[in-house]
Amino acid sequence: MLPYDFMFGASYLDFRRNQTAFSAVTSWSGVNDCDLTSGEPIRLQCASVESSFLGTLGIVPALGRSFTAEEDGPNKPRTVLLSYGIWQSRFAGHPDVLGRTIAVDGEPARVVGILPPDFETPTLAQADLVISQRLDDATLQRAVTGRPLRAIARLRPGTTIAAAQAVADLLVARALAGMPPGALAREIKPHVKSLRDLRIGDARAVAWVLFGAVLAVLLLACANVANLLMARTEARRRELALRVALGAGRLRLIRQAVTESLLLAALGGLCGLALADALLKVLVNAAPGGIPQLARATLDSRVLAFTFVCCLASGLIFGMGVTGGRGRVRQALIVIQLAFSLALLSAAGLLSRALWRYQQIPLGMETQQVLTATLTLSPQRYPSAERRLAFSEELEARLRSTASFATVAIGDSRPPDVPLRSKPIAAQQIDGRPQDSPVQGTVVWRAVTPGYFRALGVPMLQGRAFTEQDRDRDRAVMIVSQSLARRLFRGRDPVGHSIGGVQIIAVAADVRNSGGTAHDDPEYYVPRSHAADAPIYSAPDELRRVVAIVRTPLAPEFASRAIRNAVAQLDASLPVQIEPLREAASRLSVRPRFNALLLAIFAALGLLLSAFGAYGVLGFLVAQRTREIGIRIALGATPRAMAVMVLGNALRWIAAGLVLGLALSLVLSRALNSMLYGMTSYDPAAWLLAAAVLVATALTAAWLPSRRAARVDPVEALRHD
């Protein structure tokens, strides 16, 4: 299946008519807020889709059917499919819900089916309802570009991604043929990717990094076991020599070692599975939203098969290898353990430092004592732009009359979310900028009331904020963000210039609406006009979403009650979603914290395994060389010299591990680029800190064996067998 980020409606119709590479083509408009107003009003998420949507994705309703092409036509009565969860929670799982009419955004909608429990949208966004898109092909065809849609197609058997890309290239070339040449035409490029790639997104890099960390911990554990087995084999040298003298062949000894190793690996694998099951439940419950498929993570047959293969391989390799193990092999394993531990520690240090820097960068707005209230006006109860605008202005007046609300603003998008509306910068007519120096990229925009900047504490770097006079019908003014001013005017004063005939009156500080986890597009603001026929309200669904922003000293629960009362006085059937802005802003860093926590856990496990490995090998060497140490002391060597000898061995291993670990850290750091949120992956401070932690831990692990060597009694040592 091949999803596109979006496709203009007119191009989609051409694509659907003339394509030959796909067996099925469909479209949808993404997931948006909607209100279920039957009974107690509730805010839900609705996916608007074409009638062929479920069939193209191979989804069969658990009950009922999908809607038909006739039901998907313009001005047809709305049909809806319920998610399995909403069917259970809202309608108690009764099958007689089929055919029932419910109210979605105040509009009657007939329930025709129930989605399966495992239903997922193409982007994995939650959808409580799937409603008919009701496209008007004639309207789409008349427009130059038409309504933006997200297109999905199923490949014909034998068709490759490259062939699909060729179809997309041809489609875009045909669409651009009717457009004037310019920067905008150069920016429109087809991008074909599989549905799997769309869903995984940036989680792919995170998954590979964590998988690498898991393999590193596995290797560390295996190295420890190998060292223990080789130490045990060394201790049993006399026993093995005696067996050989009595007629035991080498093959029999290897078979015994492999059997013991496999038994140990099997027991370790079973204990590991039990521990993994417990840790998985803890991590899934603690994980933030937005990680694809994490909620469904389980120890399935593939995990069991992987565990079995790992146990079998490690048992065979180390069981066959320990019979020939020597001191150099054990020392090499310790060096490898230290190197992998340093790589894990460096990665954890990089993520921790990136997270710390990320949290130190201000969002550009003050989140304390600010609440946002979001609601959506239904086209049935508010069919005209005049009625929707009247509602939002009456709500603004009621909230401003509340004495405990210091500042009130109304907008069309909720901070810190990225605005839904955007434009190509190249399509804008910029006053004073040569036409032959186009600027690429996208600009997002919001329509806000004058109190917006005061409510959020966004400073004006140049010029003035909006006033009530700017909301008049004949005023055309805007405020641009600092990043947009820098990109368009390159150090010149933008105040007084215009973009698309709209005069710039100020430059506002940048606001990190994505929190820094993604790229923020430059932004501009226009005043929320008092005239319902103003150009900013030209789209059919404009003014439906109303976002109230309130700065208040009241506790959130009391302020929320006042906002709900104000909304209920205007329309008691409207559900309203109220949230403190600081909670919304804190969610932006939840996923980076979770990634850093996971890698820190693996790094800690690796460090402990390396420390135990170093301690075990040094302890064995001290025990093995007890007689030698006793003779040295008897001949005049000091206990301190013996301790230094043991620590010297440890320091050589540590030095070799640091060199190899630094090389591994360089490789792993490059893989972490997408998780560092703009911070460079080459961070000497993180590497030095990781090296210091590793050296301190390894020396601590070596201290006990060295102390034991210093306390060897020569008399007892000479009696040592």
CA distances from 544 to 98, 188, 390, 391, 706 (A): 29, 29, 12, 10, 74
pLDDT for residue 417: 79
Mean pLDDT computed over 159-181: 73
Per-residue pLDDT at 322 exceeds 70: no
pLDDT for residue 685: 80
pLDDT band with cut points at 50, 70 and 90 for residue 569: very high
Phi and psi torsions of 226, nearest 5°: -60, -45
pLDDT for residue 351: 78
Per-residue pLDDT at 41 exceeds 60: yes
Residues 156/158/161/164 CA torsion (nearest 10 deg): -50
pLDDT band with cut points at 50, 70 and 90 for residue 624: low
Do residues 109 and 79 lie in contact, with contact meaning Cβ atoms separated by under 8 Å? yes
pLDDT band with cut points at 50, 70 and 90 for residue 75: confident
Give the residues across from 688 on adjacent strands: none
Q: Which of the two residues, 23 and 617, has the higher pLDDT score?
A: 23
Distance CA 329, CA 336 (A): 11
Do residues 581 and 372 lie in contact, with contact meaning Cβ atoms separated by under 8 Å? yes
pLDDT band with cut points at 50, 70 and 90 for residue 313: confident
Do residues 455 and 368 lie in contact, with contact meaning Cβ atoms separated by under 8 Å? no
Mean pLDDT computed over 170-194: 66
Q: Which of 700, 655, 674 is nearest to 342 (CA)?
A: 655
pLDDT for residue 60: 93
pLDDT band with cut points at 50, 70 and 90 for residue 71: confident
Distance CA 97, CA 91 (A): 7
Residue ranges of domains in the chain: 7-200, 203-359+589-718, 378-573
Distance CA 423, CA 11 (A): 18
> In the Cβ-directed half-sphere of 312, how many Cα atoms lie within 13 Å?
6
Bridge-based pairing state of the strands 523-527 and 442-448: parallel
Give the residues across from 681 on adjacent strands: none
pLDDT for residue 721: 52
Distance CA 443, CA 499 (A): 12
pLDDT for residue 129: 94
Mean pLDDT computed over 317-332: 64
**pLDDT tens across 451-474, in order?**
999 999 999 999 999 999 999 988
* Global pTM exceeds 0.85: no
> In the Cβ-directed half-sphere of 435, how many Cα atoms lie within 13 Å?
4
Per-residue pLDDT at 610 exceeds 60: yes
Mean pLDDT computed over 219-228: 75
Task: Say if residue 603 is exposed, middle or buried (CB neighbours under 10 Å; 0-12, 13-18, 19+).
Answer: buried
Per-residue pLDDT at 543 exceeds 50: yes
Distance CA 616, CA 331 (A): 11
**pLDDT tens across 12-31, in order?**
887 788 777 788 888 888 88
**pLDDT tens across 653-697, in order?**
888 888 888 888 888 777 777 677 666 667 788 788 888 888 888
Distance CA 442, CA 179 (A): 19
Cis peptide before 416 (omega within 30 of 0): yes
